[in-house]
Amino acid sequence: MSILGNRVLRKEDAKFLTVGGTYVDDTAVPGAAWVAYVRSPFAHARITGVSVDAARQAPGVLDVVTGADLGLAPIPPGIPIINAAMVRPVLAQDVVRFVGEAVVAVIAESRAEAADAAELVEVDYDPLPAVVDPRAAAESETLLFPEAGTNVAFEMAPELDPGFFEGCDVVVHQSVVNQRLAPCPLEVRSAAASWGDDGRVTLWVSSQAPFGVRASLAALLGGDFRQAEIEELGVAAFGDKDIRGLDIAMNDAAGMGGIERVGDFDANFELTLGADRGRTDQAIERLALEQLHDEERATLPFTDVVDGADVRVIE
Residue 64 sits in a domain of what CATH number? 3.90.1170.50
Dihedral sign, Cα of residue 191, residue 196, residue 201, residue 207 = negative
CA distance 30 to 67: 28
Mean pLDDT over 27-32 rounds to 76
Q: Is residue 111 part of a domain?
A: yes
Mean pLDDT over 168-194 rounds to 80
Does 74 score more than 80 pLDDT?
A: yes
| Per-residue pLDDT band at 182 (split at 50, 70, 90) | confident
Q: Is residue 229 part of a domain?
A: no
Give me the amino acid identity at 311. Answer: V
Instruction: Output the pLDDT for position 166.
Output: 81
Q: Is residue 59 part of a domain?
A: yes
Q: Is residue 96 part of a domain?
A: yes
Does 124 score more than 90 pLDDT?
A: yes
Q: Are 67 and 93 in contact (CB under 8 A)?
A: yes
Q: Is residue 49 part of a domain?
A: yes
Does 4 score more than 90 pLDDT?
A: no
**Nearest Cα to Cα of residue 255 among 180, 190, 199, 207:** 199
Q: Is residue 23 part of a domain?
A: no
Instruction: Output the pLDDT for position 277.
Output: 75
Does 304 score more than 50 pLDDT?
A: no
Q: Is residue 70 part of a domain?
A: yes
Instruction: Output the pLDDT for position 311.
Output: 39
Q: Is residue 8 part of a domain?
A: no
Number of domains in the chain: 1
Angle at 61 between CA 59 and CA 63, to 5 degrees: 155
Q: Are 188 and 270 in contact (CB under 8 A)?
A: yes
Flag the least confident range among 13-17, 161-165, 247-251, 277-281.
Answer: 247-251
Burial (CB < 10 A; 0-12, 13-18, 19+), residue 14, is exposed
pTM: 0.80
- Give the single-character DSSP code of 130: -
3-state secondary structure at position 88:
strand
| Per-residue pLDDT band at 296 (split at 50, 70, 90) | very low
Q: Are 240 and 186 in contact (CB under 8 A)?
A: no
Helix (H) or strand (E) segment spanning residue 61: strand 61-66
Residue 76 domain boundaries = 31-154
Q: Are 150 and 83 in contact (CB under 8 A)?
A: yes
Question: Beta-carbon neighbour count of residue 45 at 10 Å?
Answer: 22
Helix (H) or strand (E) segment spanning residue 121: none
